[in-house]
Amino acid sequence: MKISKSEVEKIAHLARLEIEDDRKEKMVEQLGNILQYIDKLKDADVDAAKMSSKGAAKDNVLREDRPEASPGPVITLANAPDRDDDFYVVPRVVK
């Protein structure tokens, strides 16, 4: 399957990416190669494969939930880049 330069531009626009003009041709080639490789999957023989409704063989692989004592602010804030007493100081995100 081939991909055109205009399709690369459309994909970049949808992904909110800016691609320089000299890189667009390379993207056309690279995406074309990827799509060619994926296109080979339709030739794969899957007739002998069994259908499965489960992604994993095990149902519950979570550990048992046990309450434990908190290590306290001395340990939890030991590697904090900036702190104010027992609190993390982070850059403001919302104005």
52 domain residue, yes or no = no
- Percentage above 90 pLDDT, the chain: 52
Within a domain: 51: no
Per-residue confidence (pLDDT) for residue 58, from 0 to 100:
65
Q: Which domain holds residue 36?
A: 5-43
Summarize pLDDT for 30-71 with one digit per residue, the tens: 999 999 999 988 888 888 888 776 666 666 678 888 999 999
Q: Is residue 75 assigned to a domain? A: no
What is the C-alpha to C-alpha distance for residues 93 and 29, in angstroms, rounded to an integer?
39
Asked if the structure places residue 22 within a domain, the reply is yes
Can you give 8-56 as a three-state secondary structure string? HHHHHHHCCCCCCHHHHHHHHHHHHHHHHHHHHHHHCCCCCCCCCCCCC
**25 domain-assigned:** yes
- Domain count for the chain, please give it: 1
CB 8: neighbour CB atoms within 10 A?
Answer: 22
Would you say residue 69 lies in a domain? no
Within-domain flag for 72: no
Give 63 or 89, the one with higher predicted confidence: 89
- Cα separation, 8 vs 14, in Å, equals 10
Rg from Cα positions in the chain: 26
